[in-house]
């Protein structure tokens, strides 16, 4: 019996243009943003609802203020995250997902969940 193992079925492939493999493809830049170390965590955190700066800082354990600012700015410029300054005393800023950001996290959360569930087996060489 001849069969090629572990090849994605056609219906999953059709949407994936060859372009993603090209060096100059814009998707590379976008992928860099959304799969960045902290980008993933921030997006997943926001998928649970609106968060303040200080909440995100605590939630994404280990992130520096610099990287939080940089990550949020990139995601905001990409139209994935919405920044809402609240002019109250004391002032704060709320971050949430845009529609496009929400669409993205629907794909991202399962990936992170999978990584979480498989991490121990993977890192310990278990099948």
Which residues lie near DNA (CB under 7 A)? 36-38, 52-54, 62-67, 69-70, 72-73, 83, 85, 90-93, 95
CA distance 16 to 110: 19
Q: State the nearest-atom distance from the C-beta of 90 to a copy of itself, in Å.
A: 23
Question: Which token pair is 99?
Answer: 């529609």
Sheet containing strand 51-52, edge to edge, reads: 51-52, 92-97, 81-86
Binder of residue 17, out of DNA, a copy of itself, none (CB less than 5 to 8 A by kind): a copy of itself
Asked if 43 touches a copy of itself (CB under 8 A), the answer is: no
Question: Where would I find the H helices in 35-98?
Answer: 37-46, 53-59, 65-77
Binder of residue 54, out of DNA, a copy of itself, none (CB less than 5 to 8 A by kind): DNA
Asked if 1 touches a copy of itself (CB under 8 A), the answer is: no
């Amino acid at each position: 019996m001849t069969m090629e193992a572990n090849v994605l079925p056609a219906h999953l492939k059709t949407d994936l243009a060859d372009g993603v493999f090209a060096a100059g493809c814009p998707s590379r830049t976008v992928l860099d943003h959304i799969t960045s170390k902290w980008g993933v965590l921030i997006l997943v955190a926001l998928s649970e609802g609106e968060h303040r700066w200080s909440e995100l800082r605590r939630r994404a354990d280990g992130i520096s203020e610099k990287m939080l600012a940089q990550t949020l700015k990139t995601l905001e410029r990409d139209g994935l995250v919405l920044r809402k300054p609240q002019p109250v005393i004391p002032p704060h800023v709320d971050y949430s997902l845009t529609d496009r950001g929400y669409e993205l996290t629907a794909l991202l959360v399962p990936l992170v969940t999978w990584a979480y569930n498989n991490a121990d087996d993977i890192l310990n060489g278990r099948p």
